[in-house]
A and B are shown apart, each in its own frame.
Chain A
Amino acid sequence: MSADSQSARTASGDAGAEPDAAAPLLHVEGLTKHFPVTRGVLGRTVGYVRAVDGVSFDVARGETLGLVGESGSGKTTVGRSILRLIEPTAGHVTFDGVDVLDADARELRRLRRSMQIVFQDPYSSLNPRMRVIDLVGEALEVHGLARGPEIERRVGELLARVGLSPSAINRYPHEFSGGQRQRIGVARALALEPKLIVCDEPVSALDVSIQAQVVNLLKTLGRELGLSYLFIAHDLSVVRHLSHRVAVMYLGEIVELAPTERLFEAPAHPYTRALLSAIPLPDPRRERRRLVLSGDIPSPVDPPSGCRFHTRCPAVMERCKSERPPAYAPEPRHQVRCFHAEGVTGDGWYPEVEARIEARIQKNRAETPPPPRVVLDVAPGGPLRPVEQNVSIDARRAGASAPAVSRSLRKKLWYVVPLALLLAFFGARSAFRRAAAERELEALAGELTAKTKLTGSVPASIAELGWRLPPLFGNHGAVDPWGRAFRYRLLRDEKGFELSTLGPDGVVSADDSVVVRKFR
């Protein structure tokens, strides 16, 4: 194993101008990334998601910095911005003395040899159509570090280093379990002998027993190869196990940064305290001292003014709502963005904050007692709790009254009312027209009768009057001057009206010829 690492080290060959060893390997200052929020077809920018807002930290050589936070806190964006997988909006990133954000494409390529990333999901981050030798060896080939049989030898070495059999080089990702795949991911990151590996939730998709294997592997590799890690995770116990220092992020800001022991033993920021107290510990006898935050993390599109945590903070002051706290340092290596830390040194802390947090914890405990630890083996007196007592929902229902108009209907009023008015209008109009047409037809029938008395021929009379027939189509009845009923049909097609008298059987009569009046 160590022989492998020796050869790997010497083969790297990029021992150029060695920068100052005391300087941090990675220096990040004021890193900011705002994603535009666009709307509409034209992609108009209507706002910004402030994913990362002025984040600064250092990572020393061989150091592991843990970056924790809830989803939406911007920790992944920080990791990717450092590698420029995402272009940051503002800030400075210096890696090994080189400005990463100013680097052109060639420089960036060289930089990326020393900065690698391991992704969260070992199932989607490995191309299923590539063999292990291609997955791991691709980078060697692209960067011109090895070719042909040399690649095969190097990939074999790398696999051995991450605890896989070198004979696996010709297999495909689907032939491996989740933990083994993550080992392949690590081998791929190691291929270029990087100085820094950004681990973005590398174990959260793995089973407990496998997580521990990968965590141990990362720890061993870090020690043996002198790697620095930026370890991004939401699992605080894993972070505690691996990191030298831990940064806690909330809504795009680092709210607290401290050496691991200090952060876990004496957390200063109320958010860190809540986060730590939320970890479920595998010890049923431990007394529960939980500081449960109310509500959810606010939207980064419209972060709260002042301190971003003030909306959920148990120790909020008036000042927190308007002013943004700077980073205070109660100890040389401990930074906290909280006004309560102003002027505080060492372990001293405002008793008032302590009291307020304690009050909240006590309140939580009173509201949710721990699960009963009695054994539910009871005497044959029936069930422990009569299930029929589940009436609390009904009890609540009895006291409530229904709103006058249901809310869903009220919400729809804006289109239901105009639609109803429109329908009513058209309905009324057509009824009105119909009535007018009936009246006109009646008048027409009278006129027709009078005319027929003069001409003696029904069809001729209809022909004279036809053009004045109302827009009422179909079969109609009329009475001729001798009192005999007759029927006629009024049709309309694209050519014009067709008026014809109908025989007693309802078909167009042969003797009274069809009369057509064209209107066009």
Chain B
Amino acid sequence: MTSVPEEPLLRIENLSVRFRTSNGVVRAVDGAGYDVRRGETLAVVGESGCGKSVTAMAVLGLLPTPPAEVASGRIEFEGEDLLQASPARLREIRGNRISMIFQEPMTSLNPVFTVGDQIMEGLRLHRGLSREEARREASHLLELVRMPAPEQRLDEYPHQLSGGMRQRVMIAIALACRPRLLIADEPTTALDVTVQAQILELLRELQRELGMSIVLITHDLGVVAETAERVVVMYAGTVVERATALSLFDKPRHPYTAGLFLSLPSLGAESGSLRPIEGSVPDAMNLPSGCRVHPRCPFAMPVCSERDPVLTRREAAGEPPHESACFYVDQQPDADLVALTREGAPP
């Protein structure tokens, strides 16, 4: 790129989070990082335990410390280091400039308060609105998230709403202060496909209307392909690949990403049987040495268990950045990993 890239909204650099437990130290996130630019949707993909949610919690300062501690790294939001910020400052930012929506809308809403009360809380706290003003604003927020009969819903309790409507309420709460950044942690995993389609569509529309950035944490590559502009693939606490969605789905440059694609029935079905990634996600207490993926990788070489691979640019000249951390790709930059994995005959 010849142009100077703009300053990102959020920059996470070399973040390491550890949990000290009675059984030992869990390295939940180990040197991970990504940028979020203004107005974009960035998807963070990975299987359970890969550290994608812990990274997001670290951004919001929501990690439970004692057990958790940020061992190293920098989280910069609009030029401000959030790891150095005081708890009071974090409270000011949280829910105001950065908001989060969670996977399970039933457990993240308080069952004993009405929907209106829960939306109004943030409005009164962060924007200092009076009760009447907050109520009016809450009804507009529900209108914004396309809730039918918004004025009436304000006085209802979460149990009176369906799953999709609860997630809409969660989104309304998150948008109450018109954040610059919305972190959506598996926002549609608990929902049916037709409702999922509605919610994803809503998020896209809102992003266009409000111009915010979205970090979409998910394990569903279909959702990623439909919503994200850029993708970060995480595995066992590290980032293994970072690229634009188009480039990643066209030609993954990491064997793990290629393996994920072949695990999907809709794509893998073409070759008859699915080709799942062998083995299972490593125990975070007992991570493999070197490249975290190597015990499950069909391309593993001796060097993979000895040294840590680093994220390296792979794109052709003039193309958007595409980075991956893999020794095999270092040697064979043009290998078609998907085809090689499908044939099951790594060189």
Contact = CB atoms under 8 A, between A and B. Distances in A.
Nearest to B141: A393
B298 interface: no
Nearest to A207: B47
B193 A393 contact: no
B204 interface: yes
Contact of A212 (B196, B209, B268): B268
Interface centre among A275, A368, A386 (most CB of B within 10 A): A368
A455 interface: no
A281 B261 CA distance: 11
Contacts of B269: 237, 240-241
B39 interface: yes
Contact of A397 (B140, B211, B250, B280): B140
A380 B263 contact: no
Nearest to A241: B265
A275 B244 CA distance: 28
A310 to B, nearest CB: 16
A350 B208 CA distance: 37
Contacts of B223: 280
Contacts of B275: 212
Contacts of B132: 402, 406
Contact of B151 (A238, A295, A372, A407): A407
B140 A208 contact: no
Contact of A390 (B136, B178, B194): B178
Contact of B6 (A71, A180, A372, A378): A378
Nearest to B267: A282
Contacts of B345: none
Interface string B128-166: 000010011100110110001001101100000011110
Interface centre among B3, B152, B262, B280 (most CB of A within 10 A): B280
Given A281-B226, A368-B204, A373-B229, A406 B245 contact: no
B205 A368 contact: yes
Contacts, number: 220
Nearest to A281: B222
Interface in A424-442: none
Interface stretch (A114-122, A140-148, A285-293, A338-346): A285-293
Given A293-B194, A376-B40, A283 B225 contact: yes
B224 interface: yes
Given A70-B194, A212-B274, A284-B226, A392 B220 contact: no
B249 A284 contact: yes
Interface in B280-295: 280-281
A213 B276 contact: yes
B62 to A, nearest CB: 23
Contacts of A280: 196-197, 200, 220, 222-223, 225-226
Nearest to B223: A280
A224 to B, nearest CB: 13
B165 to A, nearest CB: 7
Contacts of B311: none
State the majority secondary structure of interface residues on B: helix
A215 interface: yes
A282 B265 contact: no
Given A241-B269, A278-B194, A296-B164, A379 B3 contact: yes
B5 interface: yes
B204 A385 contact: no
B111 interface: no
Contacts of A387: 38, 180, 211-212
A222 to B, nearest CB: 12
B136 A282 contact: no
Given A70-B194, A216-B276, A400-B136, A207 B219 contact: yes
B267 A238 contact: no
Contacts of B197: 277-278, 280, 290, 292
B210 interface: yes
Contacts of B16: none
Contacts of A389: 211
Contact of A296 (B162, B212, B227, B229): B162
A177 interface: yes
Contact of B193 (A236, A283, A288, A370): A236
Interface centre among A180, A284, A396 (most CB of B within 10 A): A284
Given A208-B219, A240-B265, A281-B225, A393 B140 contact: yes
A180 B265 CA distance: 20
B155 A408 contact: yes
A159 B136 CA distance: 61
A411 B249 CA distance: 54
Nearest to A372: B229
Contacts of B3: 377-380
A376 B222 contact: no
10 contacts: A216-B274, A235-B265, A279-B222, A280-B196, A280-B223, A284-B225, A293-B194, A368-B204, A373-B229, A407-B151
The list of the 5 closest CB pairs from A to B, nearest first, reads A280-B222, A212-B276, A212-B263, A241-B265, A70-B192
Interface of B: 1, 3-6, 37-41, 47-48, 116, 132, 135-137, 140-141, 143-144, 148, 151-152, 154-155, 162-165, 178, 180, 192-198, 200-201, 204-205, 208-212, 219-229, 244-246, 249-250, 259-269, 273-277, 280-281, 320
